[in-house]
Amino acid sequence: MSRFEYAPAPESRAIVDIKSSYGLFVNGAFVEATDGKPFKTVSPASEEVLAEVSEAGPADVDKAVRAARKAFEKVWGPMAGRDRAKYLFRIARLIQERARELAVLESLDNGKPIRESRDVDIPLVAAHFFYYAGWADKLEYAGAGEDPRPWGVAGQVIPWNFPLLMLAWKIAPALAAGNTVVLKPAETTPLTALAFAEICQQADLPPGVVNIVTGAGRTGQALVEHPDVNKVAFTGSTAVGRAIAKSVAGTDKAVTLELGGKAANIVFEDAPIDQTIEGIVNGIFFNQGHVCCAGSRLLVQESVYDEVLGRLKRRMETLRVGDPLDKNTDIGAINSAAQLARIRELAQIGEDEGSERWSPECELPAQGYWFPPTVFTGVSQAHRIAREEIFGPVLSVLTFRTPAEAVEKANNTPFGLSAGIWTEKGSRILWMANQLRAGVVWANTFNRFDPTSPFGGYKESGYGREGGRHGLEAYLAH
């Protein structure tokens, strides 16, 4: 009997209408950049050029900040919370209406599988806007004092791993609290932010409330260093986060930083084994491992090491790597050539340091940026692949013998964004959660997100919280 080979099931690209070039979104309109060179954004799955995008220079950023300031003072700041909520609800509904288009666009520009952009990213984007829309007229109950005030203009810089979702995490609470924003999407994934600019127009959002300036590091620097920005919010690498913290030191800007991670996913011998394997896979291979809170360090109790590894490898054999737009793809493309080079370099270092490298047999497409799902065993705390954020589909497996040793190893990192615990023992979950120095601790699950739940890090994973009531507080002066 023949095998059950899944035929290609590509999601149609016809639903998206990508323009050949995009300007900056400033003061409610798309405008040409005045002092930057245009750059190209490509589909990482095929290296096909999708569009040409403007680079905002300091003068362009200045225009955007001025527009945001004016909108804050004249329109958005004075507006009643319930009226701001109407705009946010409208945006949320438009995102739902255009969900399929946004999912396809996100998968094209970012390389993530359509199953994830369709079932995770975009629904969460809409959920964030709905959630914070509900807060807009209830700010005095947010625990930020009796009469909380917005900061003013928020300068926001977001990464390429969840382009539209990170935009939602930044823009929804900022607008609900009464701030106006200038947001810079990552240079490799600007398209959904520009589609969001169109949605702002569609929603009749007053000009200047949301401004999108595209560009790379130079643009981001101009934005966070702009003297008229009151609040800086950044998600990205620890290195850039550190530079931002330096640049705003001595100013009266408020800052939140959501940076890197090297999360421990801790498996005890009494774990629900089959769901644990799913959790390990979801923890590290979700979004190609381009997740700051990825469970990139697997800590397995020695007594179940062989069984966990055996089952994990068997499960990895079934992962489908390939065309992000195919509805059956589990792992898509690495976002950029630069990131691929970084992953390759660290994987090589892992081998050189003596860890054993394993990947299931999988054919990678010839074009585009690809890396197979990979497991390193025989890794110790001293190895670089156990310490540095790889930001790719690469799992380092370590072992422990006792709960105390698990805690010690899990916390022995400069990061502290997230952690996972797998055990059927409730008391151990609570004890572990108290010991782990990580902003999010998942129990018997991993990479679960919800707009009502705060998210953020310890130590070099940053400061401030996004999501929930805590995320709102970051946009209120009190």
Residues that are catalytic = 258
Report the residue number, 115 or 383, with the smaller CB distance to other proteins. 115
Report the residue number, 45 or 53, with the smaller CB distance to other proteins. 45
CB-based contact 36:60 (threshold 8 Å): yes
The CB-of-283 to other proteins minimum distance in angstroms stands at 12
Taking CB under 8 A as the rule, does residue 2 contact other proteins? Answer: yes
Report the residue number, 1 or 366, with the smaller CB distance to other proteins. 1
Report the residue number, 223 or 429, with the smaller CB distance to other proteins. 429
Q: How many C-beta atoms surround the C-beta of residue 29 within 10 A? A: 12
Stretch that binds other proteins, among 196-204, 265-273, 283-291, 347-355 (CB under 8 A): 265-273
Please report which helix (H) or strand (E) contains residue 176, including its range: helix 163-177
The CB-of-141 to other proteins minimum distance in angstroms stands at 31
Q: How many C-beta atoms surround the C-beta of residue 52 within 10 A? A: 13
Please pick, from the candidates 327, 342, 387, 428, the single residue that binds other proteins as defined by CB under 8 A: 327
Please pick, from the candidates 14, 37, 146, 318, the single residue that binds other proteins as defined by CB under 8 A: 318
Stretch that binds other proteins, among 1-9, 122-130, 225-233, 344-352 (CB under 8 A): 1-9
The dihedrals phi and psi of 3, each to the nearest 5 degrees, come to -80, 160
Report the residue number, 326 or 388, with the smaller CB distance to other proteins. 326
Helix (H, G, I), strand (E, B) or coil at 89: helix
Contacts of 368 (CB under 8 A, 6+ apart): 43, 44, 45, 46, 47, 111, 333
Taking CB under 8 A as the rule, does residue 427 contact other proteins? Answer: no
Please report which helix (H) or strand (E) contains residue 24, including its range: strand 24-26
Compute how many residues bind other proteins; rule: CB under 8 A.
28
Q: What is the DSSP letter of 289?
A: G
The CB-of-5 to other proteins minimum distance in angstroms stands at 6
CA 320 to chain centre: 22
Taking CB under 8 A as the rule, does residue 279 contact other proteins? Answer: yes
Residue 288 CA to residue 281 CA, distance in Å, equals 10
Residue 18 CA to residue 118 CA, distance in Å, equals 18
Residue 151 CA to residue 67 CA, distance in Å, equals 16
Taking CB under 8 A as the rule, does residue 302 contact other proteins? Answer: no
The CB-of-399 to other proteins minimum distance in angstroms stands at 18
The CB-of-7 to other proteins minimum distance in angstroms stands at 4
Contact set for other proteins, span 103-162 (CB under 8 A) = 115, 119
Taking CB under 8 A as the rule, does residue 52 contact other proteins? Answer: no
Contacts of 198 (CB under 8 A, 6+ apart): none
Please report which helix (H) or strand (E) contains residue 255, including its range: strand 254-258
Report the residue number, 220 or 283, with the smaller CB distance to other proteins. 283
Per-residue contact flags (x/-) with other proteins for residues 7 to 46, judged by CB under 8 A? xxx-------------------------------------
Closest CA to 114 of 99, 130, 92: 99
Taking CB under 8 A as the rule, does residue 6 contact other proteins? Answer: yes
Which residue, chain included where needed, has tokens 């945006």? 91
The CB-of-444 to other proteins minimum distance in angstroms stands at 5
Residue 250 CA to residue 269 CA, distance in Å, equals 50
The CB-of-330 to other proteins minimum distance in angstroms stands at 9
Taking CB under 8 A as the rule, does residue 328 contact other proteins? Answer: yes
Please pick, from the candidates 32, 302, 408, 424, the single residue that binds other proteins as defined by CB under 8 A: 424
Which residue, chain included where needed, has tokens 């905002």? 56
Taking CB under 8 A as the rule, does residue 99 contact other proteins? Answer: no
Tokens at 264, concatenated? 């421990």
Taking CB under 8 A as the rule, does residue 361 contact other proteins? Answer: no
Please report which helix (H) or strand (E) contains residue 431, including its range: helix 426-435
The CB-of-310 to other proteins minimum distance in angstroms stands at 8
Contact set for other proteins, span 368-397 (CB under 8 A) = none
Closest CA to 19 of 43, 50, 40: 50
Tokens at 433, concatenated? 């959660």
Taking CB under 8 A as the rule, does residue 307 contact other proteins? Answer: yes
Residue 442 CA to residue 261 CA, distance in Å, equals 15
CA 332 to chain centre: 16
The CB-of-409 to other proteins minimum distance in angstroms stands at 23
Taking CB under 8 A as the rule, does residue 4 contact other proteins? Answer: yes
Stretch that binds other proteins, among 5-13, 365-373, 391-399, 452-460 (CB under 8 A): 5-13
Residue 385 CA to residue 451 CA, distance in Å, equals 31
Closest CA to 437 of 453, 403, 461: 461
Beta bridge partners of 154: 181, 231
Please pick, from the candidates 245, 445, 469, 477, the single residue that binds other proteins as defined by CB under 8 A: 445
Report the residue number, 116 or 466, with the smaller CB distance to other proteins. 116
Report the residue number, 3 or 246, with the smaller CB distance to other proteins. 3
Q: Is 20 exposed, middle or buried (0-12, 13-18, 19+ CB in 10 A)?
A: exposed
Report the residue number, 318 or 434, with the smaller CB distance to other proteins. 318
Binding site for other proteins (CB under 8 A): 1-9, 115, 119, 270-276, 278-279, 307, 310, 318, 327-328, 424, 444-445
